[in-house]
Chain A
Amino acid sequence: DGGITQSPKYLFRKEGQNVTLSCEQNLNHDAMYWYRQDPGQGLRLIYYSQIVNDFQKGDIAEGYSVSREKKESFPLTVTSAQKNPTAFYLCASSSGQGSSANYGYTFGSGTRLTVV
């Protein structure tokens, strides 16, 4: 089955620690995205990538980093510079080109990160 796999489902981070969230897709989508979800604030864009080896900052990129070395993979690192990282993180992908039928996002099941 085609889809997006996020791991781990739950992650605990100690103060001052960097952690990496995994996102893998087998949909052959060009574009991938990371969103952060906090209660009452909807989905906020952290980073996005439209092609391999290229990515752009979203609205709340500070304290986060990404890489896009393979089309299938778009890992997100939450660095110690992110002062309030506790949130639900969602990865998504889209075809990113062509007709509007390709605009829709497919989301993973999310990773819940908690600072301990």
Chain B
Amino acid sequence: QQQVKQSPQSLIVQKGGISIINCAYENTAFDYFPWYQQFPGKGPALLIAIRPDVSEKKEGRFTISFNKSAKQFSLHIMDSQPGDSATYFCAASSNDYKLSFGAGTTVTVRA
């Protein structure tokens, strides 16, 4: 039973376009929502994270939007570049520090 549901499974975007990945959760005890980026054959790396007391966090071209009432959060990649082609995972944790991961989204940016 996956505690964090992620969609879409994959997406293709043109260079310069916007990539949007959505995640939803049920556990209201979750209080930390990170996103990880993974390149083939490598371990995931923390990209950006948000706490539920803010609705949006931006770091460079990456933005997390958070909707606490809907129990949803999303990652927006602005001005997508070929180097952004990777698999992205959303995750969530509560005070037990264990992260529950979404199933992942493979993003392909076409030049």
A residues with CB within 8 A of B? 4, 6, 31, 33, 35, 40-43, 45, 48, 50, 58, 90, 92, 94, 96-97, 100, 103-110, 112
Contacts and interface: CB of A to CB of B under 8 A. Distances in A.
Given A40-B9, A43-B89, A48-B98, A109 B42 contact: yes
A48 B2 CA distance: 18
A103 B96 CA distance: 9
B4 to A, nearest CB: 9
A45 B98 contact: yes
B44 A107 contact: yes
Given A45-B98, A106-B46, 9 more contacts: A33-B98, A42-B6, A42-B101, A50-B97, A58-B98, A96-B97, A100-B31, A107-B45, A110-B41
Given A40-B103, A41-B103, A43-B89, A104 B2 contact: no
A22 to B, nearest CB: 14
A65 B102 CA distance: 25
B57 interface: no
A103 B32 contact: yes
A-B pairs, 7 with minimum CB distance: A107-B43, A42-B103, A43-B101, A103-B32, A42-B101, A104-B46, A42-B104
20 contacts: A6-B43, A42-B2, A42-B89, A42-B102, A43-B44, A48-B98, A90-B43, A100-B31, A100-B51, A103-B34, A103-B49, A103-B93, A104-B34, A104-B49, A105-B44, A105-B46, A107-B44, A109-B42, A110-B41, A112-B41
B42 A110 contact: yes
B99 interface: yes
Interface centre among B31, B98, B103, by most chain A C-beta atoms within 10 angstroms, is B98
A109 B98 contact: no
Interface of B: 2, 6, 9, 31-32, 34, 36, 41-46, 49, 51, 89, 93, 97-99, 101-104
A20 to B, nearest CB: 19
Contact of A103 (B41, B97, B103): B97
B43 A94 contact: no
Contacts of B41: 109-110, 112
